[in-house]
């Protein structure tokens, strides 16, 4: 059994989920339709034609989920608020039943001694807003801010951490450039405005949250250290371009108020003015980490398995992206590279220096195709090892001066893994998707042993 790494006494341990991936109850409580309700019904989009209609049924079972978190000894729970529960069409007055649901969840968490950490947009865009252009429209940025105001007016006194956006890079690339996620657009490089409008929405929402009295505001942003496939100038150049797009296109505007060279010109609207809004000061920066990217020039021999396999990539891409080789992999096929987490943390510190606020790892985790054994347990030794190694990587980053305050495991529960449906299981808790029975895995007990043995700070 892996030893639990040493981290500072006040280090925050959490777990994360997202509304569409766990809630189900898509027609209840006056919830409007989201782009994921639409997308999952399009033939061929989701493995086995699965949907989030029921998912973990956490809309009804949140009491059981919070009890599991309490027994686990979690300090914080990162969940997302379904925008179409709050504003069924993405604008206009609040739907009280939707607010009531998150109000109850937040109170349940506080009663259990768990800090609520809320994401406002974890990809379930109201369909009516998508029909009006979604992130292709500048107006959507202001809609996100209006929604933020409604939520903060109701929950602002009780939510401990706020994240207006989850992974704008994944929304841009998978949702709008490649069409793997909703809304399924295949715009290629014409998806760049999607990045700008989300970033503007982020900035406006940060300001709206502050104006409504909310505190401790950040983002959950996906980052991947980017390695060149070889030492050739071509591969290094391709890697640098991909790094700019995947990492710095999203972090520089927020943390420096600038776009990487050459990108401001591709963005719509009064970009310089917008960057002032986008760089509104944050209280923390959240990083979601899964694996590095290995990038080569077009035509060069790929170093490892291609990322985005089976996806119709635009023909003229200036890079090829593959996975790091020589590492163990998860059942999803992703490389397990804990050093990549330390590397991206150190890179952030070097790149932004004193402008970098405290960091949280807002997601890190792995999928294994776990089954409940005849002993009634789930022996996910590989997940224990994954989290032990990634927590150790965080400890190493702290040792060299990076201010990391907490770590949220993705995920609390096995859940609806987007285009992959239910086959990929990231949870500390196993979910039987027929009976909806929750079974804590060995990784849950591993965290529990450590978390419940801590002395109160
Ligand atoms: C996160 O997305 C999400 O926040 C969460 O909802 C999800 O369940 C979790 O991770 C697990 O997937 O193929 O070139 O785009 C992470 C999405 C998908 C981002 C794979 C990086 C590889 C690069 N990641 N992707 S590419």
Query: What spatial distance separates the first Cα and last Cα of the chain, rounded to whole Å?
Result: 26
Ligand 1 contacts CB of residue 288 (under 6 A): yes
Ligand 1 contacts CB of residue 119 (under 6 A): no
User: Is 290 labelled as part of a ligand binding site?
Assistant: yes
User: Is 135 labelled as part of a ligand binding site?
Assistant: no
Ligand 1 pocket test: pick from 16, 249, 290, 293 the residue with the most ligand atoms within 8 Å of its Cβ: 290
Look at residue 280 in the predicted model and tell me its pLDDT.
98
d(CA 406, CA 28) in angstroms, rounded, equals 34
Is 167 assigned a catalytic role? yes
Ligand 1 atom nearest to CA at 123:
6
Q: For the chain, which ranges sit under pLDDT 70?
A: 308-310, 457
CA of 48 to the centre of ligand 1 (A): 19
Look at residue 59 in the predicted model and tell me its pLDDT.
99
User: Is 242 labelled as part of a ligand binding site?
Assistant: no
pTM comes to 0.98
d(CA 279, CA 143) in angstroms, rounded, equals 19
Ligand 1 contacts CB of residue 424 (under 6 A): no
Ligand 1 atom nearest to CA at 18:
6
User: Is 166 labelled as part of a ligand binding site?
Assistant: yes
**Closest Cα to atom 24, ligand 1: which residue?**
170
Q: pLDDT > 70: what percent of the chain? A: 99
User: What interface predicted TM-score (ipTM) does this complex get?
Assistant: 0.94
E-assigned strand segments in 125-165: 161-165
Look at residue 308 in the predicted model and tell me its pLDDT.
66
Look at residue 350 in the predicted model and tell me its pLDDT.
98
Look at residue 306 in the predicted model and tell me its pLDDT.
80
d(CA 187, CA 179) in angstroms, rounded, equals 8
Of 208, 201, 39, 17, which is closest to residue 102 (Cα–Cα)? 17
Architecture per CATH, 12-453: Alpha-Beta Barrel (3.20)
CA of 318 to the centre of ligand 1 (A): 21
Domain residue extents for the chain = 12-453
Look at residue 449 in the predicted model and tell me its pLDDT.
98
Is 273 assigned a catalytic role? no
Look at residue 352 in the predicted model and tell me its pLDDT.
98
Of 82, 37, 363, which is closest to residue 184 (Cα–Cα)? 37
Look at residue 445 in the predicted model and tell me its pLDDT.
98
In the set 23, 50, 167, 343, the catalytic residue is 167
Look at residue 307 in the predicted model and tell me its pLDDT.
72
Look at residue 303 in the predicted model and tell me its pLDDT.
72
Look at residue 387 in the predicted model and tell me its pLDDT.
98
Look at residue 96 in the predicted model and tell me its pLDDT.
98
b/e sequence 81-95, b meaning 16+ C-beta within 10 Å: bbbbbbbbbbbeebb
Peptide bond into 411 cis (omega under 30): yes
Look at residue 304 in the predicted model and tell me its pLDDT.
79
Look at residue 457 in the predicted model and tell me its pLDDT.
61
Look at residue 315 in the predicted model and tell me its pLDDT.
77
Q: How many helices (H) and strands (E) does the chain have?
A: 15, 13
């Amino acid at each position: 059994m892996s030893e639990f790494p040493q981290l500072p006494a006040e280090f925050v341990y959490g777990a994360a989920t997202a509304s569409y991936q766990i809630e189900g109850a898509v027609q209840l409580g006056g919830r409007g339709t989201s782009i994921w309700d639409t997308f999952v019904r399009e033939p061929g989009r989701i493995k086995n034609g699965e949907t989030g209609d029921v998912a973990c049924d956490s809309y009804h079972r949140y009491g059981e989920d919070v009890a599991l978190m309490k027994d686990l000894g979690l300090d914080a729970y990162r969940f997302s608020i379904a925008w179409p529960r709050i504003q069924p069409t993405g604008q206009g007055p609040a739907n009280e039943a939707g607010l009531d649901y998150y109000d109850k969840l937040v109170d349940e968490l506080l009663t259990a001694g768990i800090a609520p950490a809320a994401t406002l947009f974890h990809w379930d865009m109201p369909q009516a807003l998508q029909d009006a252009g979604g992130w292709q429209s500048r107006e959507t940025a202001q809609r996100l801010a209006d929604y933020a105001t409604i939520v903060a007016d109701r929950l602002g006194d009780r939510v401990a951490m706020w994240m207006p956006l989850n992974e704008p890079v994944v929304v841009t690339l998978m949702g709008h450039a490649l069409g793997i996620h909703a809304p399924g657009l295949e715009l290629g490089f014409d998806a760049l405005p999607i990045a700008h409008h989300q970033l503007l929405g982020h900035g406006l929402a940060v300001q709206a949250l502050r104006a409504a009295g909310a505190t401790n505001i950040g983002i959950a942003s996906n980052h991947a250290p980017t390695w060149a496939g070889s030492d050739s100038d071509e591969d290094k150049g391709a890697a640098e371009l991909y790094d700019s797009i995947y990492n710095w296109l999203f972090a520089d505007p927020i943390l420096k108020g600038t776009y990487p060279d050459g990108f401001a010109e591709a963005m719509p609207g009064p970009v310089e003015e917008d960057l002032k809004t986008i760089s509104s000061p944050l209280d923390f920066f959240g990083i979601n980490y899964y694996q590095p990217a290995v990038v080569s020039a077009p035509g060069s021999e790929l170093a490892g398995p291609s990322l985005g396999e089976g996806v119709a990539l635009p023909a003229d891409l200036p890079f090829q992206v593959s996975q790091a080789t020589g590492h163990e992999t998860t059942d999803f096929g992703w490389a397990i590279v804990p050093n990549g987490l330390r590397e991206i943390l150190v890179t952030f510190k070097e790149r932004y220096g004193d402008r970098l606020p405290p960091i949280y790892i807002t997601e890190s985790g792995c999928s294994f195709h776990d089954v409940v054994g005849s002993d009634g347990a789930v022996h996910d030794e590989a997940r224990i090892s994954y989290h032990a190694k990634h927590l150790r990587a965080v400890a190493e980053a702290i040792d060299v001066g990076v201010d990391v305050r907490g770590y949220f495991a993705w995920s609390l529960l096995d859940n609806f893994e987007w285009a992959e449906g239910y086959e990929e299981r990231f949870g500390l808790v196993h979910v039987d998707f027929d009976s909806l029975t929750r079974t804590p895995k060995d990784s849950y007990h591993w965290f529990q042993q450590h978390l419940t043995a801590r002395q109160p700070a």
